[in-house]
């Protein structure tokens, strides 16, 4: 958090990292990250089957393994409309959270990046029903509490990518994460 606030270090890791980091890190790991629909008959993914998820026509999209992700929690209109609230699971992200002005942050990242960056909200899908097309913004519904806004870089590098956008204390404030659970949103 300090690196992000004081020096603006935005750290992108590979999709492969997040998929392989699943064991023991349910916050940053997802064994289905990078999954895509495929016409391969009877293709099996044992780690998914051990979770009770069975399907015949799916495989890992190896093209996305070299995509790099940076994810943030986002407050959407659903909060203002009282259709969504912070889940207590967010306390596991750490003791502190940064409240960041989104437009300014996105502009800084895009201005400094030497890579093409796509960005937007993650879309959540139900398992075991696998949609016909998944992409780096697709995430299993059990992670919906993370309410992600993602930045995606396609790069041939298998190493993490770091972008330094500079001090963001003019557009961000650090608060204790538990404070988020006490926030009340006023209807528009």
pTM of the model: 0.76
* Residue 10 covered by a domain: yes
Q: Is the pLDDT of residue 42 over 50?
A: no
Question: How many angstroms separate the CA atoms of 18 and 65, rounded?
Answer: 10
pLDDT of residue 41: 45
Q: Is the pLDDT of residue 43 over 80?
A: no
131 three-state secondary structure: coil
Count structural domains, the chain. 1
The whole domain housing 36 covers 2-180
**Burial of 53 (C-beta count, 10 Å sphere; 0-12/13-18/19+):** middle
**Which residues neighbour 129 within 8 Å (Cβ) at sequence distance 6 or greater?**
none
* Residue 188 covered by a domain: no
* Residue 185 covered by a domain: no
* Residue 137 covered by a domain: yes
pLDDT band at 50 (very low <50, low <70, confident <90, very high): low
Of 135, 146, 172, nearest in space to 10 by CA: 172
Question: How many angstroms separate the CA atoms of 68 and 153, rounded?
Answer: 5
* Residue 147 covered by a domain: yes
* Residue 169 covered by a domain: yes
Cβ atoms of 172 and 94 closer than 8 Å: no
Tell me: the pLDDT tens digits for 79-117? 777 777 888 988 888 899 999 999 999 999 999 998 899
């Amino acid at each position: 958090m300090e690196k992000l606030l004081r020096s603006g270090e935005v750290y992108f890791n590979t999709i492969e990292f997040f998929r392989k980091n699943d064991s023991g890190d349910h916050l940053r790991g997802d064994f289905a990250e990078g999954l895509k629909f495929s016409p391969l008959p009877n293709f099996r993914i044992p780690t998914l089957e051990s979770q009770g998820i069975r399907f015949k026509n799916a495989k890992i999209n190896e093209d996305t393994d070299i995509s790099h992700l940076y994810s943030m929690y986002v407050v959407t209109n659903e909060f203002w409309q009282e259709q969504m609230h912070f889940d207590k699971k967010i306390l596991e992200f750490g003791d502190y959270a940064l409240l960041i002005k989104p437009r300014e942050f996105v502009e800084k990242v895009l201005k400094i990046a030497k890579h093409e960056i796509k960005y937007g909200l993650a879309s959540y899908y139900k398992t075991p029903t696998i949609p016909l097309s998944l992409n780096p913004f697709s995430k299993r519904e059990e992670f919906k509490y993370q309410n992600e806004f993602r930045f995606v870089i396609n790069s041939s590098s298998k190493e993490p990518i770091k972008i330094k956008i500079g001090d963001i204390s003019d557009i961000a404030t650090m608060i204790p994460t538990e404070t988020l659970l006490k926030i009340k949103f006023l209807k528009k």
